[in-house]
Amino acid sequence: MSVLAGRPPGRPPGRFWRPAAFPLTLGRLALDPWVLGALAVAGFVAAPLLAVIWQALATSDDIWSHLAATVLPVYIRETLLLMTGVGVGTFIVGTGCAWLVTMCRFPGQRVLTWALLLPFAVPAYLLAFVATDQLEYAGTVQTGLRALFGWQRPGDYWFPEIRSLGGAVWVMTLALYPYVYLLARAAFLEQSVCVLEVSRTLGKTAWGSFFGVALPLARPAIVIGISLVLMETLNDFGTVDFFAVETFTVGIYDVWLNQSSIAGAAQLSLVLMVFVLALITAERLARRGRRFHHTSSRYQNLPSYRLTGLKAVLAFAACVLPVVIGFVIPALVLAGYAIRFHAETLSPRYLEFAANSLGLSAFAAIAAAVIGLVLAYAQRLSQHPAVNGVVRFAGIGYAVPASVLAVGVILPLSQLDEAMDGATMTLLGIPAPLLVSGTLAAVVYGYLVRFLALSHGAVEAGLTKVTPNMDGAARTLGAGPGGALKRVHFPLIRGSLMTAALLVFVDCMKELPLTLVLRPFDFDTLATFVYQYASDELFEEASLAALTIVAAGILPVILLSMTIVASRRGGTAP
């Protein structure tokens, strides 16, 4: 068949034309450049995870028996307790606040609808540093209590220990509840007014309608939100390490860096991956065989319950406390320290670390947006189950804790370094160690594997809004996939691409575990700088760097606020 097959009659070859099909096929799957690119990305993302599994199963030393007999039971117990506490806490705070600001009217309710998202901007480890600074024995709170009541010694009064498992649960609940709040509020806004009206006519009170109707309908969204919270809990390193909670993440770093056992770290990583898979499976099974459909298409403004007196005060307090403790107080403390210690904070080192964070995050964000576009567009063009499966697999890195990814990134890159070192010695007689694993390439690789799902999801959402008729019109005019992407799709999804890059940029700015392990020697970002100074009890001198991370995190909060208000069909969001 002629390579010119598929060209419209009378139209000469040109920049808007391409061959009708790529000649390589695998069964019914056409291996065109877009599909090959998606397959390459899947292999790129899978390499660290496969390396962890191979290293964990192929090792021959007896480190596993030692770990199983000593620290493994502690890691399992502490991890499960932390997940349980944070899961219950975020469910209560996130779902309760979402229902109150959606269905009730009380003073400050309109402001709180978006203010409840503000703790998104404060990473859990920053909140842990601020909480410890304020609540420890020499902190502002206990110092004020001793001055107020005349207490002289620690034995004169009791105060909860912030650096504990309970403190970690409290801090991570305040930092992560917006995941549940965001999805629960969106689910409440999308509910039909009819089912709520029927529940009231059957004698249900406001709380009865909540527990009997609204909460079951919102269950899928809430379960997904809690699943995201638990994945972030498994991923956290800065909080649990600072509070001396012996979770799997802390154990992986301890075995790897302090005991110099990459095999033991890989085996612990494999157990942690089992935790993640069990979490995903449990979430799927919880919704299997169940349907959560609305039985009416009537969508109008939801009924509201006006609260007065004590009820209004309690509702306001319940919604404002997470914002004050999770965002306002940390922001004020950091701003106060930044002003008070401006000579130490605004230094060439801060500017250097800020430039490192901005440059590294911007590069990773652009790369993730481009790769996400390739994946989403290949999925749109092919629509083959195999391509869909490959693309979905490429996003698995977001569900894997950063400690596991750090081990997985080091393993293949160290093998590549050994191969390149041997080649340079053979050909040039010059050693070349750590050409890849000791550079910023390793950090960017880790960022891409972890945050690729964010960029792909944002781009895919943008492409779904482009009608397939526009693809057909572009093909009729002789444009190939590349031409259609450049001239048709790209102008329509520029906003989605910018959103994808922004989300990845902000997450890279806040990322601590991956950066801490994969960064080159003598290279710091704002996150690693703050963590090291806070660990050395010098948090005040890193306050401006911490405040910069919080300021960067406000950007996605604005986007989320705009999105959630527009999620209600048939009427404006309350």
Tell whether 1 is covered by a domain. no
Supply 140's token pair. 């502002």
Tell whether 557 is covered by a domain. no
Mutual angle of helices 309-323 and 72-103, in 10-degree steps: 130
Residue among 52, 547, 105, 527 nearest 338 (CA): 547
Tell whether 57 is covered by a domain. no
> For position 292, what pLDDT does the model report?
47
Distance of CA 459 to the CA centre of its chain: 16
Q: Tell me, what DSSP letter sits at residue 307?
A: -
* Cα 534-328-537 angle, rounded to 5 deg: 10
Residue among 530, 364, 501 nearest 442 (CA): 364
> In this structure, are 84 and 216 located in the same domain?
yes
Residue among 324, 326, 301, 313 nearest 108 (CA): 313
CB atoms within 10 A of CB 378: 25
| Beta strands at 305-306 and 29-30: parallel, antiparallel or unpaired | unpaired
Tell whether 336 is covered by a domain. no
Torsion sign across C-alpha atoms 528, 529, 532, 533: negative
Determine the 3-state secondary structure of 156 from DSSP: helix
> In this structure, are 46 and 99 located in the same domain?
no
Q: What separation in angstroms does the CA of 531 have from each of 133, 176, 244, 318, 446?
A: 13, 19, 14, 31, 19
Determine the 3-state secondary structure of 305 from DSSP: strand
> In this structure, are 132 and 76 located in the same domain?
yes
Specify the amino acid at residue 104.
C
CB atoms within 10 A of CB 105: 16
Number of H helices, E strands in the chain: 28, 4
| Beta strands at 25-26 and 29-30: parallel, antiparallel or unpaired | antiparallel
**Token pair 């009378």 is at which residue?**
10
Tell whether 553 is covered by a domain. no
Tell whether 200 is covered by a domain. yes
**Strand partners of residue 432:** none
> In this structure, are 79 and 202 located in the same domain?
yes
CB atoms within 10 A of CB 356: 19
Asked if 559 contacts 289 with a C-beta cutoff of 8 angstroms, the reply is no
Query: 259-311, pLDDT tens digit by residue?
Result: 778 888 888 888 888 888 787 777 667 666 555 444 444 444 555 678 888 88
Asked if 350 contacts 545 with a C-beta cutoff of 8 angstroms, the reply is yes
The secondary structure of 232-291, three-state, reads HHHHCCHHHHHCCCCCHHHHHHHHHHHCCCHHHHHHHHHHHHHHHHHHHHHHHHHHCCCC
> For position 308, what pLDDT does the model report?
81
- Sequential DSSP letters for 347-405: SHHHHHHHHHHHHHHHHHHHHHHHHHHHHHHHHHHH--HHHHHHHHHHTGGGGS-HHHH
> For position 410, what pLDDT does the model report?
87
Domain residues for the domain of 42 are: 26-52+341-535
> In this structure, are 310 and 404 located in the same domain?
no
**Strand partners of residue 306:** 105
Distance CA 121, CA 62 (A): 43
* Cα 508-129-510 angle, rounded to 5 deg: 5
> How many domains does the structure of the chain reveal?
2
- Please list, in sequence order, all residues whose beta carbon lies within 8 angstroms of the beta carbon of residue 457, skipping any fewer than 6 positions away: 372, 395, 500
> In this structure, are 317 and 382 located in the same domain?
no
* Helix (H) or strand (E) run with residue 30 in it: strand 29-30
- Please list, in sequence order, all residues whose beta carbon lies within 8 angstroms of the beta carbon of residue 472, skipping any fewer than 6 positions away: none
Distance CA 50, CA 456 (A): 22
Q: End-to-end CA distance of the chain, in Å?
A: 61
> In this structure, are 349 and 319 located in the same domain?
no
Distance CA 271, CA 253 (A): 14
- Would you put residue 129 in left (φ > 0), alpha (ψ -120 to 50) or beta? alpha
> In this structure, are 44 and 73 located in the same domain?
no
> In this structure, are 355 and 252 located in the same domain?
no
Supply 145's token pair. 């209590």
> In this structure, are 475 and 361 located in the same domain?
yes
- Please list, in sequence order, all residues whose beta carbon lies within 8 angstroms of the beta carbon of residue 89, skipping any fewer than 6 positions away: 169, 170, 172, 173, 177
Asked if 500 contacts 368 with a C-beta cutoff of 8 angstroms, the reply is yes
The secondary structure of 446-460, three-state, reads HHHHHHHHHHHHHHH
Tell whether 550 is covered by a domain. no
> For position 563, what pLDDT does the model report?
64
Residue among 563, 255, 554 nearest 404 (CA): 255
Distance CA 543, CA 190 (A): 41
Burial class from Cβ neighbours inside 10 Å (0-12, 13-18, 19+) for residue 29 reads middle
Asked if 253 contacts 407 with a C-beta cutoff of 8 angstroms, the reply is no
- Sequential DSSP letters for 109-155: HHHHHHHTTGGGGS-HHHHHHHHHHHHSTTSHHHHHHHHHHT--SGG
Residue among 452, 446, 448 nearest 517 (CA): 446
> In this structure, are 163 and 290 located in the same domain?
yes
> For position 432, what pLDDT does the model report?
66
> In this structure, are 346 and 458 located in the same domain?
yes
Task: Give the residue ranges of the chain where pLDDT is below 50.
Answer: 1-22, 192-193, 292-300, 568-574
Tell whether 163 is covered by a domain. yes
CATH number, domain with residue 139: 1.10.3720.10
Distance CA 563, CA 567 (A): 6
> For position 570, what pLDDT does the model report?
45
* Helix (H) or strand (E) run with residue 545 in it: helix 543-565
Distance CA 118, CA 333 (A): 16
